[in-house]
Amino acid sequence: MTEPLFRANAYRTEAFGVVVAHTPEGGVVLDESVFYPTGGGQPGDSGHIDWSGGAMTVATTVKGQGAQIALVPAEPQPLPPIGMQVRQTLDWPRRLRLMRMHTALHLLSVVIPLPVTGGMVGETRSRLDFQMPDMPVDRETFEAHLSEMVDQDLPVTDDYITNAELDNQPSLVKTLSAPPPRGAGKIRLVRIGQGADQVDLQPCGGTHVARTSEVGALRLGKIESKGRMNRRVYLHLDD
């Protein structure tokens, strides 16, 4: 398996790792990774790795076999040999934008407390699909509520519960289209706020900023009908 270093510290931008496998598609699997793999609507990280005698641009990162994480180059190129130590360097500006947007989508799910049927995290524009039969009309109130939670500078933390504990609290699962993975025996929860100031708690494997103030200025975009019972809501970062 690949140790997901981003899980313990989403702000870590560099690390060493040892090549443990190559994928049939021409990717590299390391024993530990600062690169987040595509999942939960969040794109895989990019950046580069280098080693004695070579370097590789990482175009994206994906989940491999089992618990492996594979770094994928933009085009076929020579790979570091198995057993070689490499230095990983994350495209940090891109990752930070994705962390801000992913956290912002959690806030959007607070502002619109309806079941989520899909979503996508982008660098400056993201979306959530809601089980929403009617078009919302009070956009100004939604935006004001988002800004209020950002300005509150709420802490964003995580915790873990067992599968059985989640089964006893089904209301924690907001996203109908992507139930939390259960293979590891424990499920990660992301919490926004603490105590009386807690605004959100839900299963999530993505990367997030440490405090809501880091999200920055948000703006609601288009709201589209995606069928009789679904609406797609876009969210933009304005800085």
Mind listing the pLDDT tens digit for each residue in 143-165?
999 999 999 999 999 999 888 88
In Å, how far are 60, 119, 136, 180, 204 from 39, measured between CA atoms?
A: 12, 11, 29, 11, 10
228 or 12, greater pLDDT: 12
Mean pLDDT to the nearest integer, 51-72: 95
Mind listing the pLDDT tens digit for each residue in 158-212?
999 888 888 888 888 888 766 676 656 788 999 999 999 999 999 999 999 999 9
Out of 4-13, 17-26, 75-84, 169-178, least confident range: 169-178
3-90 and 95-237 share one fold = no
Task: Determine the pLDDT at residue 121.
Answer: 97
Task: Determine the pLDDT at residue 139.
Answer: 83
Q: Is 235 exposed, middle or buried (0-12, 13-18, 19+ CB in 10 A)?
A: buried
Task: Determine the pLDDT at residue 66.
Answer: 86
CB 88 within 8 A of CB 49: yes
CB 189 within 8 A of CB 201: yes
Q: How far apart are CA 42 and CA 85, in angstroms?
A: 28
Q: Which fold has domain 95-237?
A: Threonyl-tRNA Synthetase; Chain A, domain 2 (3.30.980)
Task: Determine the pLDDT at residue 183.
Answer: 59
40: confidence class by pLDDT, cuts 50, 70, 90: confident
Q: Which fold has domain 3-90?
A: Elongation Factor Tu (Ef-tu); domain 3 (2.40.30)
Q: Which helix (H) or strand (E) holds 94?
A: helix 92-111
137: confidence class by pLDDT, cuts 50, 70, 90: low
Mind listing the pLDDT tens digit for each residue in 71-130?
999 888 899 999 999 999 999 999 999 999 999 999 999 999 999 999 999 999 999 999
Domain extent listing, the chain: 3-90, 95-237
